[in-house]
Amino acid sequence: MARPRRIVLVRHGESVGNADDSVYEREPDHALRLTERGWQQAEAAGERLRELFDGERVSVYVSPYRRTHETFRAFRLPPELVRVREEPRLREQDWGNWQDRDEVRLQKAYRDAYGHFFYRFAQGESGADVYDRVGAFLESLYRSFEAPDHPPNVLLVTHGLTMRLFCMRWFHWTVAEFEALSNPGNAELRTLLIGDDGRYTLDRPFVRWREPETYDQTR
């Protein structure tokens, strides 16, 4: 099995929805573009990626959203070195269709109180739903490693919550550990690196905004 040396996760650059959440009332979430700042963030991330990959081949999986496709284009990776696949299971958490800004803000407040993993948006998904489809994607990813000529690098261009849930699934984090972590910033990278023992470690942690609150504490 040709396991990759590194698996890189990248959040998309700043989108118009990150800059102005009223846009969700007029445009579908999947169709939102990068802002000018988002393009600059993605281009800077591309410089880091080209240095990291250093001319090696890369297997790329891109969320089907416009902002993730634009982010990948901004990386300017050598086309002869990349194999690109659109991967719907790496999409953003679904919140519904066109969204009323005040209603979404209210639901986000409910989610903060209820928990990001279990709270389900009224017309969309819970974090647990995203976890399940990320798990299904991982099964496909593992099978791809069986190819003897699999590239030494994997790149996932996705979304902040999906990045956290990918790592939760990969490293077997608890729900409490997931809830204690913040999303990465726009165009931030996290890299899973394989060690001599065949195990992967995260190059740097996600920012923790609180200590995990577990249910298994003794009274």
Beta strands 189-194 and 200-202, pairing class: antiparallel
Identify whether 112 is part of a domain.
Answer: yes
pLDDT of residue 219: 57
Handedness of CA 137, 34, 153, 147 (dihedral sign): positive
Residue 133: CATH number of its domain: 3.40.50.1240
**Residue among 12, 69, 116, 159 flagged as catalytic:** 12
Confidence label for 217 from pLDDT (cuts 50, 70 and 90): low
| Structure tokens that stand for 5 in this block | 């040396």
SS3 58: strand
CB 129 within 8 A of CB 95: no
CA distance 205 to 50: 22
Identify whether 162 is part of a domain.
Answer: yes
pLDDT of residue 94: 93
Place of tokens 């972590």: 181
Neighbours of 205 (CB within 10 A): 9
**Residue among 14, 87, 92, 125 flagged as catalytic:** 92
| Structure tokens that stand for 197 in this block | 């023992």
Q: What is the mean pLDDT of the chain?
A: 95
Domain range enclosing 197: 6-202
The strand ranges marked E within 96-161 are 153-158
pLDDT of residue 122: 87
Identify whether 207 is part of a domain.
Answer: no
Identify whether 177 is part of a domain.
Answer: yes
Task: Name the pTM for this structure.
Answer: 0.95
Identify whether 210 is part of a domain.
Answer: no
Identify whether 215 is part of a domain.
Answer: no
The mean pLDDT value for 117-136 works out to 96
Closest to 59 measured CA to CA, from 157, 130, 202, 137: 157
SS3 158: strand
pLDDT digits (tens, 9 = 90+) for 60-106: 999 999 999 999 999 999 999 999 999 999 999 998 888 888 888 89
Q: Active-site residue 12, yes or no?
A: yes
CA distance 31 to 37: 17
Amino acid at 56: E
| Structure tokens that stand for 78 in this block | 């050598």
pLDDT digits (tens, 9 = 90+) for 9-55: 999 999 999 999 999 999 999 999 999 999 999 999 999 999 999 99
Identify whether 24 is part of a domain.
Answer: yes
Place of tokens 């929805």: 17
pLDDT of residue 218: 56
Place of tokens 């590194």: 6
As for how many domains the chain has, the answer is 1
CA dihedral 213, 216, 217, 219 (to 10 degrees): 130
